[in-house]
Amino acid sequence: QGSKLEVKLTGRVPIDIARREAMKTEKLRFQIIGYVLSAILALIFFRGLVMTLIATLPPAIGVFWTIGMLGFTHERLNSLSMVIMPIILTMIGFTNAAHIVFQFRRELSEGSSAKESMAASMRKLGLPCMLSALTTAAGFASLTVAEANMISDFGRDCAVGTLITFMAVVLLLPLLGLLPFKHKIETEKKSLQLGSAPGKEFFLRFIGLVIKRSKWVVTVSVILTILFGWLTSTLKPDMYLLNQLPDKSESGEALIEADKSLGGIQAIRIVAEWESDDSDPVPIIASIEEMIKEEKLLSQPLSIRGVLSSLPGLGKDLSSRMPLLKRAPPDLIKPLYRPELKKAVVITRIQDLGVAQYTPVYERLENKLKKLKAKHPDYEFGLAGGAVGWGRYVHRMLNDLARSLAAAAIIILIMITIAYRSLRIGLIAMIPNLFPLLACAAVLAAFELPLSLEIVCAFTICLGIAADDAIHFLSRYQAERKNGLNIDQALECSFLRVGQVLIATTVVMLCGLGSVLFSSLPMYRAFTAVACATLSTALIADLIILPALLKLFHNKKV
């Protein structure tokens, strides 16, 4: 105070504190915003307070049960579980609840009592809802194989939460439907549905066009899926430290300034260790410094040679000044040179340019150190530091997530195949499930955007949710076929009855998740943007591609 100096604090600890403070502030805010938006939209779709409460209360209670159980078991929620998990579980639970409530309302409109209507709804949709919950939980559970604790813990928490939320829905929703609200429910029977005259005509024409042009739809979707898959293969994983910080934070501004003026704040250390007491490490350190100077992305090296060059002495031979180090302050020498341990350290710094840019630099340094080791067998060299460890950690996490995504897709294929006792149905369901993921990944690749940790998490989550929609459509389609309808009639009926629920739940989920787009944390905004885009594309795939595939490839026999 009183000087012209401006001070800003940054570094690993300040960055972690800033991120945690932002999460604490935004956790409750975005949950409230998401729930309020979802409730408003549910009121619009259900056209009544009673039906809205029946559809939204069980999922909310399921989330409370999940958080309570995790707290009871002393589970510590990480950054993903703290903010994203409650919203995701609410949306997943609401999806299943909405299917049951829509069916409940249809049963009521046909003149059945509340008890008969709820029994029929649970009988018809209980199994599809259970299957969708299991496939979603399997998608989350696939994350538990990751070596990174943050990812595995998030996957485990969400998998357990999905099953608990499902239990809350199937236990509480029937009870709510049987409460003495009959007179109010009766007044809501004539609410707006897609089966009403204007909507029915439009949607019948739409699904009729899809059925008529099913060959073209399938051909185009397969070609696009292959193209998107090829583009996805060009994606490069990357991670930035700044993305973990809230916008306009002190730590973030200091980080940017340090990158521009000081070569960065993240340190890389090259450790040299020798065996002989007579070894002179100065020439070896000089060689290491030359390696660092050859890399344009690294800052000027700091080593004991810099200390020696500042000490008095005749000539340019820095080795002759080594005895003078005994008079130097120990705090200055120990971080760089430990003669009693026969170790020396060369320090350089990197900027926050992304993990991908520095991975080849680390590989080149390690190869050069191997050559230096071959010339000087008495020495051992190692590359260390938070930046190196973080880079390798991120790459390992992304590889884990990629494997988890593949495992989730295989598990979902197996579960759908077993549930419907048809490999054909399982394979038919895979294209609509994979199409939205590959489409969004292809957009990232086209705009040369990196594949970050939160984006792969979003893909894994959305795969399970997309599978939910496909399962409900397939269940309705098979039920209509068993009722004696031909393929076209079954597709039309499934589109009208399931389509309205898919549209309603997707819109509610988009608004619930979309509130996080206003987060100050870039990592949350990226997660939400990809999740919303994937869910939107999944709706298109389930209402266009899936019916066309069923028209062409499903068994013609009833």
**Residue 346 belongs to what H/E stretch?**
strand 343-350
d(CA 444, CA 553): 32
What rounded mean pLDDT belongs to the chain? 82
Burial 120-152 (b: 16+ CB within 10 A, else e): bbbebbeebbbbbbbbbbbbbbbbbebebebbb
Contact 85, 154 (CB under 8 A): yes
Q: What is the pLDDT of residue 315?
A: 61
Q: What is the pLDDT of residue 421?
A: 81
Q: What is the pLDDT of residue 306?
A: 81
d(CA 232, CA 228): 6
Mean pLDDT of 436-461: 79
Bridging pattern class, strands 266-274 and 379-384: antiparallel
Confidence band for 148, pLDDT divided at 50, 70 and 90: low
Q: What is the pLDDT of residue 557?
A: 54
pLDDT tens digits along 513-549? 777 788 888 887 888 888 888 888 888 888 999 999 9
d(CA 279, CA 191): 88
Tell me the C-alpha to C-alpha distance, in Å, between residue 172 and each of 53, 62, 189.
Answer: 11, 10, 21
Contact 224, 439 (CB under 8 A): yes
Mean pLDDT of 217-233: 87
Q: What is the pLDDT of residue 400?
A: 66
Structure tokens at 414: 């197996």
Confidence band for 192, pLDDT divided at 50, 70 and 90: very low
d(CA 443, CA 449): 8
Look at residue 185 and tell me whether its pLDDT is greater than 90: no
Q: What is the pLDDT of residue 176?
A: 86
Better-scored residue on pLDDT, 314 or 59? 59
Structure tokens at 315: 């000539």
Look at residue 314 and tell me whether its pLDDT is greater than 70: no
d(CA 148, CA 3): 45
Look at residue 197 and tell me whether its pLDDT is greater than 50: no
Burial 518-527 (b: 16+ CB within 10 A, else e): ebebbbbbbb
Structure tokens at 5: 């100096």
Confidence band for 555, pLDDT divided at 50, 70 and 90: low
Residue from 362, 363, 148, 367 nearest 266 by CA: 362
Look at residue 231 and tell me whether its pLDDT is greater than 50: yes
Confidence band for 48, pLDDT divided at 50, 70 and 90: confident
Structure tokens at 226: 């292959």
List, edge to edge, every strand of the sheet that includes 343-350.
337-338, 343-350, 266-274, 379-384
Mean pLDDT of 8-18: 87
- Cα radius of gyration (the chain): 30
pLDDT tens digits along 269-309? 999 998 887 788 888 989 999 999 999 889 889 988 888 88
Look at residue 193 and tell me whether its pLDDT is greater than 60: no
Confidence band for 313, pLDDT divided at 50, 70 and 90: low
Contacts with 226 (C-beta within 8 Å, 6 or more apart), sequence order: none
